[in-house]
């Protein structure tokens, strides 16, 4: 049986945090261990759709995100990393695919609608942002990925990609492009330290993989817990208690966590969580520091992976151009 081709990645809009680890990074390490063909895209062009006025930030974060990838154990000898903007074949495919999608269809995309509202674009939606589902389809199909791990909120993007694939193959009467299957991780998101919504840089509620032990301690101390839990003897409220949510994910001593839910002071729980998170992050921080202090080597890894990806993408574009009679 043919092994899956995985396409996954992140926008370099900031360094990666624990939410990224829970939602995707741990799974990427798993796919690597399974020996699957895995491409990880650093989607700098997509990041520019809402950071176009701050290109320097996106540029700098390409390196930051690469350091995070390497620090968690992703190995360039087994996994191919590439920078989106350095694979021009993606832009070629995006242009071709735009003719296969209507404006109304893009407008109805639930993910796009939600993000437009979140970012407050109203009627001033940048065209690049509006059509980014088409660019994502190009990301996926340029390496002929068969599998894409996503959160549930991104499922409409996979549906849009498959619509483009089917439309292309039907119009041009050849199975050039491959439909893709979405994998939704068992734990696809982590609530932020404010306990209100998912962990996000823009919301200021994240614990980053690069945070120092002291910063982690400060952030845990500020976590939302249970305002009604006044006495140590009172039973701890589990539902909605962010500290328990994190302990369930990161504390390996599950039997002890169950006992803790019977009632303990918030400071005791937070002290335990601080210890658990710092024990988890310590080896990641150590590895990250090594890569961070050798930027030339990290960028060389990205350049080599990008060249590999370009070769694969060029073959895809050639097949696409052949059936579109663009082979002059």
What pLDDT, on a 0 to 100 scale, did the predictor assign at position 227?
Answer: 52
The answer to whether position 204 is within a domain reads: no
**Distance separating alpha carbons of residues 274 and 272, to the nearest angstrom:** 5
For strands 181-183 and 147-149, give the pairing.
parallel
Residue 257's domain spans which residues? 213-290
Residues 36 and 173 in one domain: yes
CATH number (domain holding residue 303)? 3.40.50.620
The answer to whether position 232 is within a domain reads: yes
Residues 151 and 38 in one domain: yes
Number of domains in the chain: 2
Q: pLDDT averaged over consecutive 10-residue blocks of the chain (328 residues)? A: 82 89 88 93 90 91 96 96 97 96 88 78 81 94 93 87 97 96 79 83 87 94 66 54 84 69 67 92 96 97 98 97 95
Contact indicator for 50, 119 with CB cutoff of 8 Å = yes
Residues 20 and 167 in one domain: yes
Residues 267 and 132 in one domain: no
The answer to whether position 200 is within a domain reads: no
Query: Which H or E element spans position 40?
Result: strand 37-42
Residues 235 and 124 in one domain: no
Residue by residue, what is the 3-state secondary structure of 209-223? CCCCHHHHHHHHHCC
CATH number (domain holding residue 220)? 1.10.240.10
Residues 286 and 304 in one domain: no
Query: What sign does the CA torsion over 274, 276, 280, 282 have?
Result: positive
The answer to whether position 233 is within a domain reads: yes
Residues 222 and 184 in one domain: no
Residues 148 and 261 in one domain: no
Crossing angle of the two packed helices 266-292 and 213-221, in degrees rounded to 10:
150
Residues 33 and 126 in one domain: yes
The answer to whether position 207 is within a domain reads: no
What pLDDT, on a 0 to 100 scale, did the predictor assign at position 228?
Answer: 52
Residues 20 and 41 in one domain: yes
Residues 166 and 250 in one domain: no
Residues 254 and 276 in one domain: yes
């Amino acid at each position: 049986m043919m092994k899956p081709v995985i396409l996954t990645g992140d926008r370099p809009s900031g360094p990666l945090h624990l939410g990224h680890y829970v939602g995707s990074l741990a799974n990427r390490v798993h796919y690597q261990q399974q020996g699957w063909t895995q491409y990880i895209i650093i989607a700098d062009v997509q990041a520019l759709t809402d950071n176009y006025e701050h290109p320097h930030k996106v540029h700098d974060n390409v390196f930051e995100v690469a350091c995070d990838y390497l620090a968690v154990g992703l190995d360039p000898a087994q996994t191919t990393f590439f920078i989106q903007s350095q694979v021009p074949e993606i832009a070629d495919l995006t242009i071709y695919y735009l003719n296969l999608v209507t404006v109304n269809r893009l407008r109805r995309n639930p993910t796009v609608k939600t993000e437009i509202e979140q970012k407050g674009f109203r009627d001033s939606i940048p065209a690049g942002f509006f059509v980014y589902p088409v660019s994502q389809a190009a990301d996926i199909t340029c390496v002929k990925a068969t599998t894409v791990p996503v959160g549930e909120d991104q499922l409409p993007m996979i549906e849009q990609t498959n619509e483009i694939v089917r439309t292309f193959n039907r119009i041009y009467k050849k199975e050039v492009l491959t439909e893709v299957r979405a994998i939704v991780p068992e734990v696809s998101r982590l609530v932020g330290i404010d306990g209100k919504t998912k962990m996000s840089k823009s919301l200021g509620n994240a614990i980053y993989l690069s945070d120092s032990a002291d910063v982690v301690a400060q952030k845990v101390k500020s976590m939302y817990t249970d305002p009604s839990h006044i006495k140590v003897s009172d039973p701890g409220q589990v539902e909605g208690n962010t500290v328990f949510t994190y302990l369930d994910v990161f504390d390996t001593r599950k039997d002890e966590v169950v006992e803790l839910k019977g009632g303990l002071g918030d400071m005791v729980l937070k002290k335990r969580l601080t210890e658990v998170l710092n024990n988890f992050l310590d080896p990641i921080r150590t590895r990250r520091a090594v890569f961070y202090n050798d930027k030339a080597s990290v960028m060389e890894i990205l350049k080599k992976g990008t060249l590999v990806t370009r070769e694969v993408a060029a073959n895809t574009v050639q097949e696409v151009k052949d059936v579109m009679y663009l082979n002059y």
